[in-house]
Amino acid sequence: MPAWTDSEIPFPPPPPILSLPSPILAPAPLPSPIRSLGYRAAMIRLRDEAASTSHSPPSQLLSASRREDRPEVTLPPRKRLDIALGPRYEISEIRELQAADRRRQTVISELRRLEHMRSTETSESRTAL
């Protein structure tokens, strides 16, 4: 029997199950950092990136007083009040809403009173047994 060295020993090919692994696939690309952010955060990041690449001077310096930034608007007082208060209701509509609210509160208080009477009657009948 001949003497074989380790490099000369013939080995049969490994069975298919134990064969060398196939080349490893490249991992899936990481999700875009913009996709993982919310919409507003993504827009802010994009705006900041765009601003960092363009080095144009600011278009207008901010003034120290905020009043100087607002244009002068002259509206009649009634119109200003309408804008400030939002939609307005007629007095008759308000009174109708108040009356409906009072009726609703009356019904609710009556239902609570009846529920309380039923619960006390039930507890009294249980203790009587």
- Side chain identity, residue 87: P
The answer to whether 40 and 51 are in contact (CB under 8 A) is: no
The total of other beta-carbon atoms located within 10 Å of residue 61's CB is 7
Tell the residue number behind the tokens 């809403």, with chain if given.
97
**Residues contacting 69, CB < 8 A, separation 6+:** 62, 63
Quote the pLDDT of residue 44.
Answer: 79
pTM: 0.30
Q: Using one digit for the tens of pLDDT, what is the confidence trace for 67-118? A: 666 667 677 776 766 666 666 667 788 888 899 999 999 999 999 999 999 9
What sign results for the dihedral spanned by CA atoms 73, 77, 80, 84? positive
Mean pLDDT of the residues in the chain = 71
Q: Where are the beta strands (DSSP E) in the chain?
A: none
